[in-house]
């Protein structure tokens, strides 16, 4: 692929390593890559960077696919890094042959042995860099284990440079870069090597990834050049952090950082995508709610910020029972609520139905279709249908405080009279909005009480609580039989 066609048809990739569930930060990286590809008529590639055999898990692979599937954005090509080992070793060999890498026979560090020391930066293991080719070959042939390290140019005051699509011109003295490993002593490639080898082989034109890789990029530029490739275009994304400014982590911050948490709570993928796009990127025209197509249309690297973005959830301890208001960013909730309101009733209905049934209720599509308009403006998350519309689903209302039946500026006697009268009136009224409206208002007038004082006892009697959807619509869906039965059950509570 020549540079002209690359310019017109960029090839981007999302390369997660399957060492955990799909993180919201990773999801955003995927989305930005996808948006860039679609905006520019390019190719989106999914590559599983599974070179860390120790930490990879199938569950993680599952979680990543599950999450991406839910996002419903798709990709054009798919690869698995572990199946491309030959390619990686080939590039390592090529770099070694050019003398740009060397074998390091020093045993691997045991871990935190070096942690406590406040010594300067480690750059390379003394003696290994200068090992003669003959001795290096001899020891390797003898079976002595070694790591292959990149021979970073030293002492020449040389700088490594690249132009980042977000952070601009970047330069770093080669003398500040350590001789990083290309191959581990078990022969497996490191992330740096495998990533660059694959990016080169797959002709990736733009690498869009988290800013935590900004420093690594100098190493990658070195690898690309050593292997004879022109480095791709880089663009680094600001990180997503917790309210306390620290990196989002499952251990510290709980399920908020997992994409499936959003899915399971009842986010719409579109709203979730919209929310993530607004963290660290802006269309710069005050637009916030955007459809997928609009996002594709306006997305550009120029709109990406350089400062980290806070995902604004409440940092509740693991002991507290977390509510949606605790664990989700208010903006995410608002965006989801807005998106729900834009959904056609039948669409929303078909998303709600499985949730209601999944909670163990029997529900017909026809009845759900009647309920849907009553909850549409009252839920921020699809799952909230279960708490907002519970009284439509249950046979028996959960116990409620009889005091709720008593209207504003009224007493139990007033509630009784209202309910008694309602019973009579409703038994002869057609259960449609307008007739219900007329007869109940008339009844209130007869009793000499305000409409609100008439409605509240009825609402509580049929819904089991004060806050509910509008009364007439509710009664209409509930039907005469259920309504009268619930009023009958309420009356004794006022005795």
Among residue numbers 227 through 266, which ones bind RNA (CB under 7 A)? 238-239, 241, 243, 245-247
Q: Least distance from C-beta 407 to RNA, angstroms?
A: 9
Instruction: Select the residue interacting with RNA from 121, 320, 362, 428 (CB under 7 A).
Output: 121
| Binding positions for RNA, 426-465, rule CB under 7 A | 451-452, 455-456, 459
| Binding positions for RNA, 99-118, rule CB under 7 A | 104, 106-109, 118
Of the two residues 71 and 340, which places its CB atom closer to RNA in the complex? 340
Of the two residues 32 and 393, which places its CB atom closer to RNA in the complex? 32
Measured between alpha carbons, how far is 97 from 193 in angstroms, rounded to an integer? 15
Q: Least distance from C-beta 2 to RNA, angstroms?
A: 29
- Residue from 250, 409, 432, 466 carrying the catalytic annotation: 250
Of the two residues 2 and 30, which places its CB atom closer to RNA in the complex? 30
Closest CA to 434 of 463, 473, 477: 473
Q: Is residue 33 within 8 Å of 44, Cβ to Cβ?
A: yes
- Cα 303–Cα 307–Cα 312 angle in degrees, nearest 5: 100
Q: Is residue 56 within 8 Å of 62, Cβ to Cβ?
A: no
Stretch that binds RNA, among 181-189, 200-208, 397-405, 482-490 (CB under 7 A): 181-189
Stretch that binds RNA, among 3-11, 198-206, 333-341, 420-428 (CB under 7 A): 333-341
| Binding positions for RNA, 16-75, rule CB under 7 A | 16-17, 19, 49, 51-52, 55
Of the two residues 121 and 364, which places its CB atom closer to RNA in the complex? 121
**Judged by CB under 7 A, does residue 13 bind RNA?**
no
Q: Least distance from C-beta 129 to RNA, angstroms?
A: 13
**Judged by CB under 7 A, does residue 372 bind RNA?**
no
Instruction: Select the residue interacting with RNA from 39, 85, 139, 167 (CB under 7 A).
Output: 167
Stretch that binds RNA, among 131-139, 166-174, 254-262, 352-360 (CB under 7 A): 166-174
Of the two residues 94 and 174, which places its CB atom closer to RNA in the complex? 174
- Cβ neighbours around 171 below 10 Å, total: 10
Stretch that binds RNA, among 32-40, 85-93, 250-258, 272-280 (CB under 7 A): 272-280
Q: In the annotation, is 247 catalytic?
A: no
**Judged by CB under 7 A, does residue 212 bind RNA?**
yes
| Binding positions for RNA, 273-312, rule CB under 7 A | 278-282, 284, 286, 288, 303, 305-310, 312
Stretch that binds RNA, among 163-171, 197-205, 223-231, 252-260 (CB under 7 A): 163-171
Of the two residues 254 and 280, which places its CB atom closer to RNA in the complex? 280
Active site residue ranges? 250
């Amino acid at each position: 692929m020549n540079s002209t066609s690359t310019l017109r048809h960029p090839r981007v990739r999302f390369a997660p390593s399957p060492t955990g569930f799909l993180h919201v930060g990773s999801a955003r990286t995927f989305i930005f890559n996808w948006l860039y590809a679609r905006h520019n008529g390019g190719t989106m590639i999914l590559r599983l960077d599974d070179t860390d055999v120790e930490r990879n898990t199938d569950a993680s692979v599952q979680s990543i696919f599950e999450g991406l599937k839910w996002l419903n954005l798709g990709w054009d090509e798919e690869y698995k890094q572990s199946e491309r080992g030959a390619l990686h070793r080939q590039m390592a060999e090529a770099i070694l042959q050019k003398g740009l890498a060397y074998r390091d026979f020093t045993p691997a560090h045991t871990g935190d042995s070096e942690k406590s020391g406040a010594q300067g930066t480690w750059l390379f293991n003394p003696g290994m860099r200068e090992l003669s080719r003959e001795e290096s070959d001899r020891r390797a042939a003898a079976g002595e284990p070694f790591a292959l390290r990149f021979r970073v140019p030293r002492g020449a005051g040389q700088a490594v440079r690249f132009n980042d699509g977000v952070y601009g011109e970047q330069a770093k003295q080669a003398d500040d870069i350590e001789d990083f490993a290309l191959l581990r002593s078990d022969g497996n490639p490191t992330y740096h090597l495998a990533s660059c080898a694959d990016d080169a082989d797959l002709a990736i034109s733009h690498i869009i990834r988290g800013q935590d890789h900004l420093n690594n990029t100098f190493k990658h530029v070195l690898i690309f050049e050593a292997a004879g490739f022109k480095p791709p275009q880089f663009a680094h994304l600001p990180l997503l952090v917790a309210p306390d400014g620290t990196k989002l982590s499952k251990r510290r911050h709980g399920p908020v950082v997992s994409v499936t948490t959003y899915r399971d709570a009842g986010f719409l993928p579109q709203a979730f995508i919209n929310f993530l796009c607004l963290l660290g990127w802006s269309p710069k025209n005050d637009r916030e709610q955007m459809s997928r197509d609009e996002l594709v249309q306006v997305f550009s690297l120029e709109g990406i910020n350089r400062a980290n973005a806070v995902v604004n959830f409440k940092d509740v301890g693991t002991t507290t029972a977390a509510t949606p208001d605790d664990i989700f960013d208010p903006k995410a909730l608002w965006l989801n609520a807005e998106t729900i309101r834009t959904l056609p009733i039948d669409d929303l209905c078909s998303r709600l139905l499985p949730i209601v049934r999944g909670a163990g209720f029997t529900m017909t599509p026809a009845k759900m279709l009647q309920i849907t308009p009553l909850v549409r403006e009252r839920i921020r998350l699809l799952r909230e249908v279960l708490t907002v519309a519970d009284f439509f689903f249950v046979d028996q209302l959960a116990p409620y405080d009889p005091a709720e039946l008593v209207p504003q500026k009224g007493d139990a006697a007033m509630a009784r009279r209202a309910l008694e009268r309602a019973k009579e009136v409703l038994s002869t009224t057609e259960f449609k909005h307008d007739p219900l409206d007329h007869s109940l208002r008339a009844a209130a007038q007869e009793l000499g009480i305000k409409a609100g004082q008439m409605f509240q006892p009825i609402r509580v009697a049929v819904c089991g609580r004060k806050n509910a959807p509008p009364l007439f619509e509710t009664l209409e869906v509930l039907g005469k039989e259920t309504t009268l039965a619930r009023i009958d059950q309420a009356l004794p509570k006022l005795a």
